[in-house]
Amino acid sequence: MNSNNIIIAIDGYSSSGKSTMAKQLAMNIGYRYIDSGAMYRAVTLYGMRHGLVTTDGEVDVPKLISSLPDIHIDFHLEGDRQFTMLNGENVENEIRTLGVSNCVSPVAAIPEVRHALVKMQREMGERKGIVMDGRDIGTVVFPNAEMKVFCDASAERRAERRYKELTDKGEKVSYEDVLANVIKRDHIDETRDESPLRCADDAVRLDNSKMTIDEQNRWLIDLFNKITNR
């Protein structure tokens, strides 16, 4: 298989380490990396700022849907760092807060929001050479992706990682709140009607509960080499 020309879909549960490994793989092999979760987070932030999403995740669905044409999302690259841009503004830090995490899954369950973002994601993958991570990349966005991975780890392990990430950034959160958010998002993501989170039949499963970041990066590049016969 031509290794310059494939689509790599990495799906999995929240905070399962998929973004870290997807980003690293993209850098190693010279592919473009797209964080589809950042796009759902950016729509959520837009809704929160415009009073269409309350802090406890109540959504004014018709108004949010009619605002979709006003929401432009892009990624800005600076060296090896990538920033999510919402209507030209760098919102990378703001979209990662627990406040946005608490509201994103109800927003991501709205079919019209999903259709709009899936369309953008498919356009981004038109020329292939892309690593995209999310919840439905291997099942809905790119069902024909040449390489599919599905990541999981225990909820406690995932919450520990996310808690560390947030507190390292200076956000004041409790481990219990982070764990509750992880469990709640898993539930909403798995039970929504529109493209629920599930492992594609042809995805390779990875439980990385006991793996270090280096180990999971190595595992992923080995899989890529195997699939592309490098």
Residues that bind ligand CDP (CB under 6 A): 14-15, 19, 36-37, 40-41, 104-105, 108, 134-137, 185, 189
Q: Which is nearer to ligand CDP, 3 or 124 (CB)?
A: 124
End-to-end CA distance of the chain: 9
Least Cβ distance, residue 36 to ligand CDP (angstroms): 4
Task: Name the minimum Å distance from CB 189 to ligand CDP.
Answer: 5
Q: Is the separation of the CB atoms in 42 and 91 below 8 Å?
A: yes
Q: Which helix (H) or strand (E) holds 204?
A: strand 204-207
- 31 or 40, CB closer to ligand CDP? 40
Smaller CB distance to ligand CDP: residue 3 or 183? 183
Please say whether the beta carbons of 122 and 36 come within 8 A. Answer: no
CA distance 6 to 27: 15
Q: Is the CB of 3 or the CB of 112 nearer to ligand CDP?
A: 112
Please give the radius of gyration of the chain, using alpha carbons only, rounded to the nearest integer.
17
| Structure-block tokens of residue 152 | 């999981």
CB of 230 to ligand CDP, least distance (A): 27
Give the bridge partners for 205, in sequence order.
150
CB closer to ligand CDP, 31 vs 161: 161
Chain residue whose CB lies nearest ligand CDP: 37
37 within 8 A of 151, measured Cβ to Cβ = no
Residue type, 183: I
Query: In the complex with ligand CDP, which residue's Cβ is closer, 191 or 225?
Result: 191
Residue 165: CB minimum distance to ligand CDP, A: 9
Closest separation in Å from C-beta 223 to ligand CDP: 20
8 Å CB contact between 173 and 15: no
Least distance to ligand CDP from the beta carbon of 19, Å?
6
Contacts of 18 (CB under 8 A, 6+ apart): 10, 11, 12, 133, 149, 151
